[in-house]
Amino acid sequence: MSGRQSDFRYSTGEAKVPWAAVGEHADLSDVMAIVEFLVRPREGAEAEYDERLIEVREAVQTLLAAGGPQTKLTLGGRVLELEAAVREMLRCKYAMMLTNATAGFEIACKFAGLQAGDEVICPAITFISTILYPLSIGAKVVFADLDPRTINLDPADVARKVTDKTRMIVPVHIGGRPVDMDPIMDLAHERDIMVLEDAAHAFGGWYKGRAAGTIGDFGAFSLHEVKNVTSLGEGGLLVTNDDRFGPQLSLARFVGLDISKQIKNWLYDVVPLETARGLAVPGNHSVTEIQAVMLLSQIARLSDIIARRREAAEYLNARFADVPGIVPALPDTEDIKSTWHLYLLQIEPDVLGCDIQEFKQRLSDRGVTNIPHFAPLYKFELLQRLGYDHDAIAATCPVAEEAFNRRFTHLPLYPLTKEQVEYMADALIDATRG
């Protein structure tokens, strides 16, 4: 038993009686359960699947006899390796893997010193996660309207809605297309406001030569299972270039535990986060080694994944170019490179004689699944019960209202086959005829 790597808290080196980090090791049944969970039998090939499984079981058994079990399951070398790969890929100073993007937002808000009564400007249309932490501490969320072409945050409306109480702006790179960050960063610098990029969809997107997520003070990415790459279903990344906060990221992830400091008769100390405005209490947002292993593997093919998505989007754009009533998605440019997480489809209701709700029904009738992704957040009961006045806010976000009610939806791009993308284009063009 001696000599195995152990958790830093229980490191016992070459002791005769070690205190191992991992309690119950993974045995054959655990490994096979994971294999069977990740690789499902194909319909009609169940018998072959079962046969192959017996071979795999024998192979794993041999492997287990030749090797030994993993002795570190959480926050170990693979997580560090992954974070180094992310820093290199995004060209940023600090990167931390954590449970999800939502946790990243929470940590960024804490470092920004966000408090009750502060105002946070975010786009009217995004996922609820973007604003959960501000709402939970009694900060006021101010909804900015959207750029009608991208349905991203409109910098001009942000400028109109900034007040002396604005503490933070949260641009969201919706669908993976980077927001026009320059005017937002200019405004933020001028007014001493912090910027947190909700880059949940934008891992691998670029804006004027800089990675989406690394332009503001903080950026958080989602690795949830529906995203372009995933760390086994859940996961997130928080990045920053700020030397005040970067070195504290791991404290923020794991309970403020500081192994470089100790209290008397103990192994470590627990420290508070030093934020832009006093101290904050950390949480626990740790991730496992196996999540990092999966993400490292997926990151290696991220550019291929994005290229395939882009190819599908370009195909759709070409098919829709001359179709009256369909507004194709904006293509990539030298300055703006989307991750093509989603394809933004807009229609011209007056040309088609129907709004997006009816158009989506026409798509469903033709077998093209269409799920509603993003609504203006002020429509949710949560906001209304917290005192947000739906009608008053909606009146300040006319583009979001029009986009949501009449004009926009998202189409999937991946992992559709070429035939499925072609079918979707045909069905969509056909649906414009009624």
Among 97, 124, 195, 200, binds ligand PLP (CB under 6 A): 200
Locus of tokens 């996922």: 127
Are residues 126 and 375 in contact, defined by beta-carbon separation less than 8 angstroms?
A: no
The SS3 assignment for 315 reads: helix
213 is a contact residue toward ligand PLP (CB under 6 A)? no
- Does position 127 bind ligand PLP by CB under 6 A? yes
Our CB check for ligand PLP shows the closer of 200 and 411 to be 200
In the region spanning residues 154 to 173, those forming contacts with ligand PLP, defined by CB under 6 A, are 172
Q: Considering only residues 6, 130, 240, 288, which one is a binding residue for ligand PLP as defined by CB under 6 A?
A: 130
Name the segment binding ligand PLP (CB under 6 A); options: 79-87, 122-130, 186-194, 384-392.
Answer: 122-130
Instruction: Output the six-digit token pair for 13.
Output: 């080196």
The alpha-carbon radius of gyration of the chain (Å, integer) is: 24
CA distance 270 to 262: 8
Binding piece for ligand PLP, criterion CB under 6 A, among 193-201, 313-321, 325-333, 351-359: 193-201
Q: Copy the structure tokens of residue 222.
A: 């989602």
CA quadruple 149, 153, 156, 161: dihedral sign: positive
Stretch that binds ligand PLP, among 98-106, 183-191, 357-365, 375-383 (CB under 6 A): 98-106
CA 42 to chain centroid, in Å, comes to: 30
Name the β-bridge partners of 337: 206
Strand order in the sheet with 119-123: 94-98, 236-240, 218-222, 194-198, 166-169, 119-123, 140-144
Taking Cα atoms as reference points, which of 232, 273, 229 lies closest to residue 250? Answer: 273
The residues pairing with 168 across neighbouring beta strands, listed in sequence order, are: 120, 194
Residues 261-320 that bind ligand PLP (CB under 6 A): none
Interface residue with ligand PLP, options 79, 90, 95, 101 (CB under 6 A): 101
Percentages helix, strand, coil for the chain (3-state, rounded to 5) are 40, 15, 45
Q: β-strand 218-222 against 236-240: which pairing, if any?
A: antiparallel
- Which listed range, 13-21, 81-89, 152-160, 194-202, lies at the site for ligand PLP (CB under 6 A)? 194-202
Q: Which two tokens stand for residue 298?
A: 């997926």
Give the footprint of ligand PLP on residues 171-190 (CB under 6 A): 172
**Is 4 near ligand PLP (CB under 6 A)?**
no
Task: Kindly report the number of other CB atoms within 10 A of residue 280's CB atom.
Answer: 21
Q: Residue from 83, 106, 119, 198 that binds ligand PLP (CB under 6 A)?
A: 198
Q: Minimum distance between the CB of residue 396 and ligand PLP, rounded to whole angstroms?
A: 21
Nearer residue to ligand PLP within complex by CB, 166 or 222:
222
Q: Which stretch binds ligand PLP (CB under 6 A): 42-50, 100-108, 161-169, 301-309?
A: 100-108
Distance from C-alpha of 130 to C-alpha of 222, rounded to nearest angstrom: 11
- Count of positions on this chain that bind ligand PLP (CB under 6 A): 14
The 44-83 contact track toward ligand PLP, x by CB under 6 A, reads: ----------------------------------------
Q: Which amino acid is at 358?
A: E
Q: Which of 330, 92, 105, 297 is closest to 211 using CA atoms?
A: 92
To the nearest whole angstrom, how small is the minimum distance from the Cβ of residue 128 to ligand PLP?
A: 8
Q: Between 101 and 428, whose beta carbon lies closer to ligand PLP?
A: 101
CB of 52 to ligand PLP, least distance (A): 34
- Smallest distance, Å, CB 234 to ligand PLP? 7
100 binds ligand PLP (CB under 6 A): yes
Q: Specify whether the CB–CB gap between 102 and 237 falls below 8 A.
A: no
Integer Cα distance of 181 and 168 in angstroms: 14
Interface pick for ligand PLP out of 224, 277, 366, 379 (rule CB under 6 A): 224
Selected binder of ligand PLP within 6, 90, 125, 129 (CB under 6 A): 129
Quick one: which of 86, 90, 102, 184 contacts ligand PLP (CB under 6 A)?
102
Residues of this chain that bind ligand PLP (CB under 6 A): 100-102, 126-127, 129-130, 172, 198, 200-201, 222, 224, 236
